[in-house]
Amino acid sequence: MTEEAATSEELRNRLVDQIVADRPLAPRVEHALRTVRREDNLPGIDLPTAYTDQAVSIKENPSGPLPLSCASVPSMVAMMLDQLDVKAGDNILEIGAGTGYNAALLDELTGPEGHVTTVDIDEDVALHARTTLNRSGHDRVRVFERDGLIGVPEHGPYTRLIGTVGLWDFPNAWWDQLADDARVVLPLRWRGQTRSIALTRHGNTLTADSVELCGFVPVIGQDGEKTAALNTEDTVRIHYDQDQDIDPAAFDESTFSIPCTTTLSEQRIGGEESFDGVWLRATASDNRVCRVEVTPKALESGVRRPSIPMRSPALVSGGSIAYLITEREEADPQRPFRLGAAAYGPDRDSLAQDLVAHINTWGAYRAAIPEINISALADPAPDTGFTITKSESRLTLNYP
């Protein structure tokens, strides 16, 4: 049977089969994915595309490279719903209505005794979600055109809250809308990375028990992330947070014209092996962690290629930078790539050594994830762990 001839149910089940083969899901989440028709929320999209494990844009952004709204990758949707652990009868708040597909899944999961409220700041997106939810029979879902950072207090307290946009901070307004022991799943951003974090409220603290790599369109209204060029040609850029002591003006035009220092770690990886944990672990102890972007023009001029040219983990101090690189070595065919650091600037040698130390620490405990807590900025700072102070909250990380 061709893709064009396959029915919605056949394509949907095939997609879910692929998802659960890679990541087993709770039975209720799997059932919801097999039940809710994604194409109802993607009018004009053909069935094979609707049931491909990829994001689908529904509103482009004329002022930036990322869309204003899209249907998230189905496997990521499944992962986050699994993290959220919805129970029948839950009262759920979703930040970012998108196509309405995720709200339809939440409606299926919480059942007739529960409630789903979804909010989006964009008028067109909110209208799209309302229209498709009505079309698919999920008209019980409440849709609000509103700034999600304010929430929807009139329908709280919520036992579950999920964000479907990248959030840099946890807004103060949400605390009063969460029930005791509420479960929260957020694509949280810090130091240029995004992690889907599942947390449970314990008094005035949210404590995480699940951390997964993810990627989402950033929420409108939070501007804690900064981007700056490190040379006049704007071919090397850094992406960092407003709380960091980073001064891009400390770099001069000669920084990237001088050969770099290259220092290799003891750690090797295979071609499909993830090393994102290097970044995560470094953010739990080092305020210099950010991301570097090296454009094709910079690479052509001789700047050393980072492990990921678009945005690789880096350390920045004064007018010096060290960033993650990979070098192919044939000595170990199972893990042919060796991780290391390339560094520029007056302190390049010591900065490269510091980054290699992070790599080696990660390598000794590759599967480890940190304990993560979120607390309000008005509350006392935690006694233990490494704290990152944002505009409205504190993020505390601690590796056991």
Q: Is the pLDDT of residue 61 over 50?
A: no
Q: Is the pLDDT of residue 5 over 60?
A: yes
Q: Is the pLDDT of residue 267 over 60?
A: yes
> Helix, strand, or coil here: 389?
strand
Report field, pTM of the whole predicted structure over 0.95: no
Q: Is the pLDDT of residue 1 over 90?
A: no
Return all residues near 259 (Cβ < 8 A) that are at least 6 apart: none
In terms of Cβ atoms closer than 10 Å to its own Cβ (0-12, 13-18, 19+), residue 191 is: buried
Helix (H) or strand (E) holding 9: helix 8-22
Amino acid 207: pLDDT? 97
> What is d(CA 333, CA 269) in angstroms, rounded to the nearest whole number?
10
DSSP 343-354: EESTTHHHHHHH
- 101-110 helix and 74-84 helix, angle to the nearest 10 degrees: 30
Amino acid 324: pLDDT? 98
- 123-135 helix and 101-110 helix, angle to the nearest 10 degrees: 50
Say which DSSP state 219 is in: P
In terms of Cβ atoms closer than 10 Å to its own Cβ (0-12, 13-18, 19+), residue 314 is: buried
* 174 vs 383, residue with greater confidence: 174
Which pair of structure tokens corresponds to residue 79? 């992962």
Work out the average pLDDT over 39-43. Answer: 92
Work out the average pLDDT over 31-56. Answer: 93
Amino acid 3: pLDDT? 56
> What is d(CA 37, CA 12) in angstroms, rounded to the nearest whole number?
8
pLDDT band of residue 44 (cuts 50, 70, 90) is confident
DSSP 316-347: EETTEEEEEEEEE-TT-SSS-EEEEEEEESTT
Q: Is the pLDDT of residue 371 over 50?
A: yes
Q: In what order do the strands lie in the sheet with 289-294?
A: 225-229, 236-241, 289-294, 312-317, 320-328, 337-344, 261-269
Q: Is the pLDDT of residue 67 over 70?
A: no
* 311-351 residue pLDDT tens: 899 999 999 999 999 999 887 888 999 999 999 999 999 99
Amino acid 330: pLDDT? 80
Nearest to 11 by CA among 41, 33, 44: 33
Amino acid 63: pLDDT? 46
> Which ranges of 72-122 does DSSP label H, i.e. alpha helix?
74-84, 101-110
Q: Is the pLDDT of residue 369 over 50?
A: yes
CB 162 within 8 A of CB 95: yes
Nearest to 104 by CA among 142, 58, 144, 69: 142
Estimate to the nearest angstrom the gap between the alpha carbon of 351 and the chain centroid.
27
* 146-205 residue pLDDT tens: 999 999 999 999 999 999 999 999 999 999 999 999 999 999 999 999 999 999 999 999
In DSSP terms, 194 is beta-bridged to 189
Active site residues: 72
Return all residues near 303 (Cβ < 8 A) that are at least 6 apart: 235, 236, 256, 260, 294
Say which DSSP state 302 is in: T
Read off φ and ψ for residue 218, nearest 5 degrees: -65, 145
Work out the average pLDDT over 4-26. Answer: 93
CA distance readout (Å), 270 to 208, 324, 335, 338? 29, 16, 4, 9
Residue 35 CB-half CA count within 13 A: 15
Estimate to the nearest angstrom the gap between the alpha carbon of 344 and the chain centroid.
29
Return all residues near 32 (Cβ < 8 A) that are at least 6 apart: 81, 105, 108, 109
Q: Is the pLDDT of residue 62 over 90?
A: no
CB 195 within 8 A of CB 211: yes
* 73-116 residue pLDDT tens: 999 999 999 999 999 999 999 999 999 999 999 999 999 999 99
Q: pLDDT over 90 for what percent of the chain? A: 86
Q: Is the pLDDT of residue 60 over 80?
A: no
CB 138 within 8 A of CB 188: no
Q: Is the pLDDT of residue 64 over 70?
A: no
* 297 vs 218, residue with greater confidence: 297
Amino acid 58: pLDDT? 66
Tell me what the pLDDT averaged over the chain comes to. Answer: 93
Q: Is the pLDDT of residue 31 over 60?
A: yes
* 341-361 residue pLDDT tens: 999 999 999 999 999 999 999
